[in-house]
Amino acid sequence: MFALFSRFISLKGFYQTTYKYLPFVVVAFLSLFAYGLFAGLFLAPADYQQGEGFRIIYVHVPSAFAAMGIYLIMAYCAILTLIWRIKIAAICMSASAGIGASFTFLALVTGSIWGKPMWGTWWIWDARLTSMLILFFLYLGFIALQSSIADNNTKDRAGALVALVGVINLPIIHYSVNWWSTLHQGATLSKFATPSIALSMLYPLLAMITAFFLFYVILLTLRMRNIILLREVYSDWVKGIAV
């Protein structure tokens, strides 16, 4: 167990080990994604209120899940970076930011496409939409900060501090935005009440959520492998690969 752990935690070990495991993840992702997409788009019944339009949740909900989950993963990596100076955690944090921002963007876009037929408008200043937009800004701030620092060590620690402050602030932002939307808006347009969801709708959704997570793992691994090569470009084992 510890041997496996230590192999993953060293940059060289990570690079060499993930090469073997990545195909399995890709296969799992493709099968889950294919099932989720097919079952979500064709097998699941149309919603009695929203009709066929509800099917966008099979992209929207998983990307919103991923957007928030990836920020939490980044914050966890930030703790590992700040306290134990684990290099691989810092690389994971940097590599996650871009993917997280993309998922947040996807969630915003699919949400607004869903909102057009359901709410009759592309965008309303709803609490959830606004929180998501702020999360997007947090990601962008993190990426902007990291991309403007050249030194790797400073980059990791500065990014970790910002990610931590962001994650502490995230619940405060969430609740204050909720308070704000009740204060200003009133219940003019509330979401359709969906107390329970039919199982034929739920299983594809769960499959899609897992598939999106696996997709994140695949992208993350590929990006981390790139960053490792860039950072270790002068070490012997990377030179060995290049030759």
Partner 1 sequence: MIKLIVNEINYEMKSIQRDWWNWIIPVVFFVMVAALFPLAIGNNPELLTQIASGIIWIAALLATLLSCGNLFKNDAQSGHLDVLLTGALPVSAILFCKIACHWLAFCGPLILITPLLGIFFKMEVAHIQLLIITLLLGTPILCLLAASLAALTINLENKNLLLPLLIMPLFIPILIFGTGIVLATPAEVSAGLALLGAMLLLSIGFLPLMTMLALKVGVN
Residues of the shown chain interacting with partner 1 in the complex, contacts defined by CB under 8 A: 82, 134, 137-138, 140-141, 144-145, 148-149, 151, 153-154, 157-158, 161-162, 165-166, 169, 172-173, 175-177, 179-180, 183-184
Nearer to partner 1, 56 or 67 (CB): 67
Nearer to partner 1, 76 or 213 (CB): 76
Return the bridge partners of 47, or none: 51
C-alpha of 87 from chain center:
21
> 10 Å Cβ neighbour count for 8?
13
* Closest CB 112 distance from partner 1, rounded Å: 20
* Closest CB 78 distance from partner 1, rounded Å: 12
> 10 Å Cβ neighbour count for 167?
17
Return the bridge partners of 18, or none: none
Nearer to partner 1, 20 or 184 (CB): 184
> 10 Å Cβ neighbour count for 239?
11
* Closest CB 139 distance from partner 1, rounded Å: 9
DSSP-derived letter for residue 121 is S
Tokens 């709708």 belong to 201
Contact 201, 43 (CB under 8 A): no
Nearer to partner 1, 96 or 130 (CB): 130
- Cβ-based burial of 69 (10 A; exposed 0-12, middle 13-18, buried ≥19): middle
Tokens 């909900």 belong to 61
* Closest CB 191 distance from partner 1, rounded Å: 21
Nearer to partner 1, 11 or 156 (CB): 156
* Closest CB 122 distance from partner 1, rounded Å: 22
**Nearest C-alpha neighbor of 178 from the set 214, 128, 116:** 128
C-alpha of 200 from chain center:
25
* Closest CB 149 distance from partner 1, rounded Å: 7
Nearer to partner 1, 134 or 205 (CB): 134
